[in-house]
Every structure is written in structure tokens, then in C-alpha cells.
């Protein structure tokens, strides 16, 4: 039950209003006996010493108001006024629905059985109930995959994970597989070449696989999937013919994967996917009588998250993770999301699991979830950079004037894509070709002209070089397209007129 003031704050949030309500700390102890929100606030403030606090503000957050019946029902953000002689900290308190609270007891290793079981549940839920994620059913295996065996089919020895890793030439089998999205980094990973093709078909030495590949294989096995597709091991890297053929099939490879595993914070193959959480993220439980203690280094700005249920006095508490707030996962801090090739992989994959710096993030065409309990519905702001997947999927399955929506989305896509990095400028066409094929299906096979669409050619011609980055756009060497196309330059471009004018032919 909420007290009068907390009820007022949530009413403001429900109306989309942001009103800061100041309360003296002396009022808190009494109201904490009957108000679950005040109870949580009292627990946390007691941890940092109530004697140092003069007052606090309650700020309702409209971002967390329920949009579906089982989403978080409301949120209160707490800011604290510290007495002058004490350093300023920042604490946040949010109240969530019961179903969210269950996973708050702490963050676990992202490669643990608990974490992978959560991924298994998300895959099952997505396949059974998400229309936009099932536009393409699991298809046939790609021409080549890595056969890794399943965890339950491998003898449980100390080194079971090293067993049965080899290149497999497929024969149109309809079986599930995992795709890996990763960054090569400064050092080239283990690669498939003409002279090791036969060797890889017999066995791939586990000790020579980069840590990122090893972690992805272990994850796929725990998911019960026997095959994984990794670009550097499934495309002959010193064969232009094979690279050209397989890169043209990449759209289908990611579209039909059961799930894509993304090594999102890894800057290369050595980094791996899995991370062990810091002690301050492991969480603790309080019943209001026990003092809250969260291990970890003291910092000038400290954030805790506490979530209570409606029918229990138990409060789960741990340090807040960076991605608990929308927009905090900016791509400039995530090496993988800065890559041009990965942009296409992310759009084409119906389901992605991001191995983050502290937690797992699930991203599909309809939902964004964090293993810590954070949730975002379709179309809401994405903690992993831009809200590209829900919006992208919405355009592809939109009712009514689908063409208009796709043309507008294409302009936005080019602005986002050209701001990303490519090792080779010559990859600019190939690294977006799969998405172009996807759009062409939605546009009933309309003409695609060097990065522009015939139906929206006037808008397509209004691109200009952007100056947001220190390295400005410059002519591509060699030129990948005619001078009237954005493909003729490298670096970011923008479409200033697309926000105010709509053209049609």
C-alpha cells in the first residue's frame, strides 16, 4: 500500500507528468510502517546513515509505467539532499511488479547454467508468442557450420568442452544453429583457408580457438544446439569466390539462426564472452529489520536498486547496473556495436543475446530484456544504443502504406550505418546488402540503385556529408558507387530533408 505522497507521485507518473516532491527525512520512519515505497527508501537510507540526510525528493518516472498487463506498474526515483559536510551520492529506488523481482537477487556469471537457462526460456517464449520474430522460420543449415555436439551427448569429463569441434559441409538439413556476432580485433582469429579446409573437417584444435569462440561454443552446447556458424571459420578467407558467394547468403544465415550470440563488449577474440560480476552486483535481501550491506568499492556516486513485492515485506537490493536506465548502453562503450558489419547482423537476426559487461541482454524484434530484471516493450528506447530492432521489424510488417514506412526507415538506416566503422571501405556494399535484400522483399522487388531506391529517388539524392566525427566523409577509394550515391564517399552522411519533406515518384 502506498502512502498519500507516494500515491500522488505515481499518479503524476501515470499522467506522464514529472513533479519533484520534497519530503523531510523525519517523516520517513512513520510512513515506512505502512507504505511499501517508504519502507524501501528507509531501508536504503538507513544503510548510508539517516543522520547525514536532511531531505529527499521523490520523482515519478513515466518511462516505467506499465504498457502491458505484466510490465512494471510504476516507478519512483529517489534523489537525496545530503548535509553540507557530507559528499553527494545518488541513490535510486524503483518498485516493480512481482515477476520482475524474482531475478533481482543478484547478477551471475554470464556463462553460468543459470544465465543460459534464462536464455533458453527467452528463446522458447519468443518462438511461441512473438509474431514479428517469426517472419522466417528456422531454415536449412548454412553451407558450412561448425559441428560442436550437445552438452548432454558428450561424455562428462573434465575437458568435455574440447570434444567434437569440426567443420561440417551440410546437405540442406533443416536443423537449428547458432550464429556468432563478434569483432575480429587487431589480431586475426583462427581462419578457414584453402590449405586447412580438410584438416578442419576432421577436427579443430580447441586450444587454438580464440576465447570468444570457445565461450560461444560452450553456450551453444548448453542451449542444446549442435551447430554454430562463425564467419572466419565457415567462409574460406583466402578465396574471393567463396567469400563473394557466402557474403551474399549472409542475410539468410542470420535471419534463420535460432539465436545470435553477440560478444558485445569484447574488442577481439581474446576477450571472450563471459564475465564474472563484481561483489556489489551479487545482491542481498532485507526484511526491513536487517541492515542492508552491499559489498564493493565506495564511490562518489553510488546507485542501489531495491524492488519489493505487493504481498511480502522482503526487499531485494543490489548495486544498480549501468543498463538499468534506458539509453545508458551507448554504442561508443561497446566495441561490437561500432562495427558496420555488425549493424546488419543485428538487424537481420530475429533474436540476439548480448554478452554485456555485467549481464546478459536479450534483444528480439518485440522485446528487450536484461537478466537482472530490466524490461522494455516493443518500440521503447533501447539500452543498447538506438531502438533499431523493434522499429525495424515494425516497418517490415506494418499494415497500410508499408512502402512509405520502409523508405523513411531506409534513410534512417543509412545515417546510422555510415557512422559505423569498416576495416575495408570496399565492404560498404556487402555489409548492408543483406538488409537491402530484406527491404526489397518488402518493396515488392522495386529497383535498388547504388544504395538508393527508385521509388524514393528524390529523397535518396538529398544526402550530404555529416561533420559529427573528426574524420569527415571523403571520396571512397576506389569509388563504390556513382557520385550521386552516398556509396561514393566514406564516413557518415545525413539526410536533412528527410525529416521535413516526403517525396514520391
The answer on 336 and 188 residing in a single domain is yes
Q: What is the pLDDT of residue 294?
A: 39
- 291/147: higher pLDDT: 147
The answer on 341 and 424 residing in a single domain is no
- 44/431: higher pLDDT: 431
Is 454 inside any structural domain?
A: yes
Arithmetic mean of pLDDT over the chain? 70
Q: What is the pLDDT of residue 184?
A: 84
**Angle at Cα 30 formed by Cα 26 and Cα 31, nearest 5°?**
100
Helix, coil or strand: residue 448: strand
The answer on 216 and 136 residing in a single domain is yes
Strongest mean pLDDT among 157-166, 197-206, 490-499 = 197-206
Domain hosting 188: range is 113-275+329-391
The answer on 223 and 165 residing in a single domain is yes
Is 122 inside any structural domain?
A: yes
Is 161 inside any structural domain?
A: yes
To the nearest 10°, report the CA torsion of 481, 482, 483, 485. -60
Whether the full predicted model's pTM is greater than 0.85, yes or no, is no
The answer on 210 and 123 residing in a single domain is yes
Residue 32: DSSP 8-state = T
Q: Which three cell numbers stand for residue 162?
A: 574440447
The answer on 362 and 488 residing in a single domain is no
With 50 as the cut, is the pLDDT of residue 491 above it?
yes
Q: What is the pLDDT of residue 80?
A: 47
Cis peptide before 317 (omega within 30 of 0): no
With 80 as the cut, is the pLDDT of residue 39 above it?
no
Q: What is the pLDDT of residue 72?
A: 35
Q: What is the pLDDT of residue 60?
A: 47
List, for residues 348-370, the tens digit of each pLDDT value.
Answer: 888 999 887 767 888 888 778 77
pLDDT confidence bin for 17, thresholds 50/70/90: low
Q: Which three cell numbers stand for residue 386?
A: 538506438
Is 396 inside any structural domain?
A: no
The answer on 214 and 166 residing in a single domain is yes
With 70 as the cut, is the pLDDT of residue 380 above it?
no
- Please state the rounded mean pLDDT for residues 52-71: 38
Is 252 inside any structural domain?
A: yes
Q: What is the pLDDT of residue 280?
A: 43
With 90 as the cut, is the pLDDT of residue 377 above it?
no
The answer on 338 and 318 residing in a single domain is no
With 70 as the cut, is the pLDDT of residue 399 above it?
no
With 60 as the cut, is the pLDDT of residue 493 above it?
yes
Domain boundary among 391, 407, 437: 391
With 50 as the cut, is the pLDDT of residue 175 above it?
yes
pLDDT confidence bin for 347, thresholds 50/70/90: confident
| Number of neighbouring beta carbons within 10 Å of residue 271 | 20
Say how far apart CA 412 and CA 504 lie, in whole Å. Answer: 17
Helix ranges restricted to H, 359-477: 388-396, 402-418, 430-442, 457-460
Is 467 inside any structural domain?
A: yes
With 60 as the cut, is the pLDDT of residue 78 above it?
no
With 80 as the cut, is the pLDDT of residue 329 above it?
no
The answer on 171 and 37 residing in a single domain is no
Is 408 inside any structural domain?
A: no
CB 54 within 8 A of CB 20: no
- Please state the rounded mean pLDDT for residues 388-404: 50
Residue 107 backbone phi and psi in degrees, to 5: -90, 135
HSE (side-chain half, CA atoms, 13 Å) at 136: 22
Beta-carbon contacts of residue 228 (< 8 Å; ≥ 6 apart): 145, 146, 148, 177, 178, 179, 180, 216, 217, 220
Buried b (16+ CB within 10 A) or exposed e, 389-407: bbbbbbbbeeeeeebebbb
Say how far apart CA 486 and CA 464 lie, in whole Å. Answer: 8
Helix axes 388-396, 430-442, angle to 10 degrees: 40
pLDDT confidence bin for 24, thresholds 50/70/90: confident
Q: What is the pLDDT of residue 1?
A: 65
pLDDT confidence bin for 302, thresholds 50/70/90: very low
Q: What is the pLDDT of residue 32?
A: 80
- 84/241: higher pLDDT: 241
CB 194 within 8 A of CB 239: yes
103-117, 189-203, 211-225: which range is least confident on average?
103-117
Say how far apart CA 454 and CA 30 lie, in whole Å. Answer: 68
pLDDT confidence bin for 171, thresholds 50/70/90: very high
Q: What is the pLDDT of residue 96?
A: 35
Q: What is the pLDDT of residue 73?
A: 37
Q: What is the pLDDT of residue 9?
A: 67
The answer on 465 and 427 residing in a single domain is yes
- Please state the rounded mean pLDDT for residues 318-334: 48
The answer on 267 and 298 residing in a single domain is no
pLDDT confidence bin for 456, thresholds 50/70/90: confident
Is 463 inside any structural domain?
A: yes
118-132, 244-258, 460-474: which range is least confident on average?
460-474
What Cα–Cα distance (Å) separates residue 489 from each residue in 248, 462, 471?
A: 23, 14, 12
- 61/229: higher pLDDT: 229
The answer on 123 and 210 residing in a single domain is yes
Number of domains in the chain: 3
Q: What is the pLDDT of residue 138?
A: 66
pLDDT confidence bin for 33, thresholds 50/70/90: confident
Say how far apart CA 369 and CA 69 lie, in whole Å. Answer: 16
Amino acid at each position: 500500500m502506498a502512502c498519500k505522497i507516494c500515491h500522488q507521485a505515481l499518479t503524476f507518473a501515470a499522467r506522464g507528468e514529472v513533479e519533484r516532491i520534497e519530503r523531510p527525512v523525519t517523516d520517513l520512519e512513520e510512513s515506512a510502517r505502512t507504505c511499501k515505497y517508504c519502507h524501501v527508501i528507509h531501508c536504503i537510507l538507513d544503510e548510508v546513515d539517516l543522520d547525514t540526510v536532511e531531505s529527499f525528493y521523490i520523482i515519478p518516472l513515466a518511462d516505467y509505467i506499465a504498457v502491458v498487463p505484466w510490465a512494471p506498474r510504476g516507478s519512483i526515483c529517489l534523489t537525496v539532499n545530503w548535509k553540507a559536510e557530507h559528499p553527494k551520492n545518488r541513490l535510486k529506488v524503483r518498485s516493480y511488479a512481482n515477476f520482475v523481482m524474482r531475478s533481482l537477487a543478484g547478477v551471475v556469471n554470464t556463462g553460468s547454467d543459470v544465465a543460459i537457462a534464462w536464455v533458453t526460456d527467452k528463446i522458447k517464449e519468443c518462438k511461441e508468442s512473438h509474431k514479428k520474430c517469426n517472419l522466417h522460420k528456422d531454415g536449412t543449415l548454412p553451407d558450412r557450420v561448425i559441428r560442436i555436439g550437445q552438452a548432454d551427448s558428450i561424455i562428462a569429463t573434465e575437458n568435455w568442452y574440447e570434444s567434437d569441434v569440426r567443420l561440417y559441409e551440410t546437405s540442406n538439413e533443416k536443423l537449428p544453429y547458432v550464429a556468432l556476432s563478434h569483432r575480429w580485433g587487431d589480431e586475426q582469429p583462427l581462419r578457414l583457408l584453402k590449405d586447412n579446409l580438410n584438416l578442419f573437417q576432421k577436427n579443430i584444435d580447441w586450444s587454438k580457438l580464440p576465447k570468444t569462440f570457445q565461450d560461444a561454443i560452450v553456450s551453444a552446447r548448453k542451449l542444446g544446439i549442435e551447430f554454430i556458424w562463425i564467419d572466419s571459420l565457415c567462409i574460406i578467407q583466402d578465396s574471393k569466390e567463396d567469400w563473394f558467394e557466402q557474403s551474399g547468403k549472409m542475410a539468410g544465415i542470420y535471419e534463420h539462426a535460432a539465436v545470435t550470440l553477440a560478444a558485445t563488449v569484447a574488442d577481439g577474440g581474446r576477450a571472450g564472452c563471459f564475465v564474472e560480476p563484481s561483489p556489489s552486483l551479487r545482491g542481498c535481501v532485507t526484511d526491513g529489520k536487517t541492515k542492508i550491506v552491499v559489498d564493493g568499492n565506495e564511490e562518489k556516486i553510488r546507485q542501489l536498486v531495491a524492488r519489493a513485492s505487493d504481498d511480502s515485506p522482503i526487499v531485494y537490493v543490489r548495486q544498480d547496473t549501468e543498463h538499468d536506465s534506458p539509453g545508458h548502453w551507448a554504442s561508443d562503450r561497446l566495441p561490437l556495436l561500432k562495427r558496420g558489419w555488425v549493424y546488419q547482423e543485428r538487424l537481420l537476426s530475429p533474436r540476439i543475446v548480448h554478452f554485456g559487461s555485467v549481464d546478459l541482454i536479450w534483444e528480439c524484434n518485440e522485446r528487450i530484456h536484461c537478466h537482472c530484471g530490466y524490461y522494455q516493450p516493443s518500440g521503447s528506447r533501447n539500452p543498447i544504443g538506438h531502438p533499431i530492432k523493434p522499429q525495424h521489424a515494425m516497418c517490415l510488417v506494418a499494415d497500410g502504406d508499408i512502402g512509405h514506412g520502409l523508405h523513411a526507415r531506409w534513410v534512417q538506416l543509412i545515417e546510422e550505418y555510415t557512422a559505423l566503422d569498416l576495416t575495408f571501405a570496399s565492404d560498404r556494399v556487402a555489409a548492408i546488402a543483406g538488409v537491402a535484400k530484406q527491404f526489397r522483399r518488402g518493396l515488392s522487388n522495386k529497383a535498388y540503385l547504388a544504395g538508393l531506391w527508385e521509388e524514393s529517388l528524390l529523397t535518396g539524392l538529398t544526402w550530404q556529408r555529416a561533420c559529427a566525427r573528426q574524420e569527415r566523409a571523403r571520396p571512397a577509394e576506389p569509388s563504390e558507387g556513382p557520385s550521386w550515391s552516398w556509396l561514393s564517399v566514406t564516413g557518415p552522411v545525413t539526410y536533412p530533408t528527410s525529416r521535413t519533406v516526403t517525396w514520391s515518384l
